Amino acid sequence: MNNTNNKNNKMVIVIPALNEEQTIADVIKRVIIFFPVIVVDDGSSDKTSNIALNLGATVVKLPKNRGVDFALASGFKKAIELGFESVTTIDADGQHDPDLIPKISYPVLNGEADICHSDRDSYQRWSEKILRIYSKKIHGYGDILSGLKSFKLKIFKLNESLVSKNTLGTAIPWLAYNSSLKISEVRISTYERQDKPRIGGIIVGNYRVCLALLRLILWDIKSYWALKIYKK
């Protein structure tokens, strides 16, 4: 289902969505004025896909719920198929201010960075704060969990399989860091969610973020030893 008019193949917005009929229309209307939009419907049972199509977005509809990472990877593949060079991702739940799209995408479009991710000023879970502290200490950049980020699709192509796994969006910024690419970040404020958290409530959400942090640590250890062996 392709509504994208690709007159400019520089940037496209990818929005993963699961039963977001209450919020998706407002998000699309406010971001489509900047760039074309791809909505990945991650097995919704409501009218998310129909609303997105009617508003001019290209829709990738998954037959069943596969999780946010698989949904995002599906959107990135569609963006590549349509000839785009870069993507900006934003959540469908209304947490992010769509007016931040130009600020997030500017460094990537102008060659100042290969990836620009947002750095939230508040967090819903204690585990997110810990992951940010770790990433800031080790990588120099903090809030890699934030769903609002812009990057060149060449990063996704480095390891498409890794990005598709359950990493809560941390794979893209980690690949950029591990490949010594140019990274920037923009401090932002967020709105309160208008529905249930997609990655789960307090217990499940913290558990999943802790798993993402563990994977991040294991990736860093593996990368460290691989580099050390290579230098011998």
**In 10 A of CB 166, how many CB atoms?**
15
pLDDT, tens digit, 9 for 90 and up, residues 75-91: 999 999 999 999 999 99
pLDDT (0 to 100) of residue 169: 83
Structure tokens at 166: 């359950």
Question: Which residues in the chain belong to E strands, given as ranges?
Answer: 11-17, 37-42, 58-62, 86-89, 115-120, 149-152, 183-188
pLDDT for residue 30 is more than 70: yes
pLDDT for residue 129 is more than 60: yes
Q: What value does the mean pLDDT of the chain take?
A: 88
Task: Report domain 11-231's class.
Answer: alpha beta
- The CA distance from 206 to 218, in Å, is 18
Do the beta carbons of residue 120 and residue 185 sit within 8 Å?
no
pLDDT (0 to 100) of residue 65: 92
pLDDT (0 to 100) of residue 6: 46
Flag whether the pTM goes above 0.85: yes
For the CA atoms of 155, 159, 164, 166, what is the dihedral angle to 10 degrees? Answer: -100
Q: For the residues 48-60, what does the mean pLDDT come to? A: 97
pLDDT (0 to 100) of residue 4: 55
pLDDT for residue 167 is more than 90: no
C-alpha closest to that of 30 among 106, 86, 100: 100
pLDDT, tens digit, 9 for 90 and up, residues 171-189: 998 999 889 899 999 988 7
pLDDT for residue 140 is more than 90: no
Q: Where are the domains of the chain?
A: 11-231
pLDDT: is 220 or 29 the higher one? 29
143 falls in which pLDDT band (50, 70, 90)?
confident
7 falls in which pLDDT band (50, 70, 90)?
very low
Q: For the residues 47-55, what does the mean pLDDT come to? A: 97
pLDDT for residue 52 is more than 90: yes
